[in-house]
Amino acid sequence: MGEVRATVRLTNAADLALVRRQMMRPAEVRSSEASALIDTGAVSLVLPSFVVERLGLARPFKHVAESADGRREEVDVTEPVLVELLGRHTTEEALVLGDEVIVGQTILEKMDLHVDCRERRLLPNPAHPDQPVIKVK
Whole-number Å distance between alpha carbons of 60 and 47: 15
Widest distance between CA atoms in the chain: 47
Judged on CB neighbours under 10 Å (0-12, 13-18, 19+), 71 is exposed
Give the pLDDT score at 1. 56
Torsion angle of C-alpha atoms 65, 66, 71, 77, degrees rounded to 10: -10
**Each residue of 42-76: pLDDT tens digit?**
999 999 999 999 999 999 999 999 988 999 999 99
**Each residue of 87-131: pLDDT tens digit?**
999 999 999 999 999 999 999 999 999 999 899 999 999 999 999
**Is 116 among the domain residues?**
yes
Give the pLDDT score at 39. 95
**Is 31 among the domain residues?**
yes
- Count of the separate structural domains present in the chain: 1
| pLDDT for residue 7 is more than 70 | yes
Under the banding of pLDDT at 50, 70 and 90, the label for residue 135 is confident
Q: What CATH number does residue 33 fall under?
A: 2.40.70.10
Whole-number Å distance between alpha carbons of 40 and 38: 7
Query: pTM (2 decimals)?
Result: 0.94
Residue numbers of the domain that contains 26: 4-124
- Helix/strand/coil for 106: helix
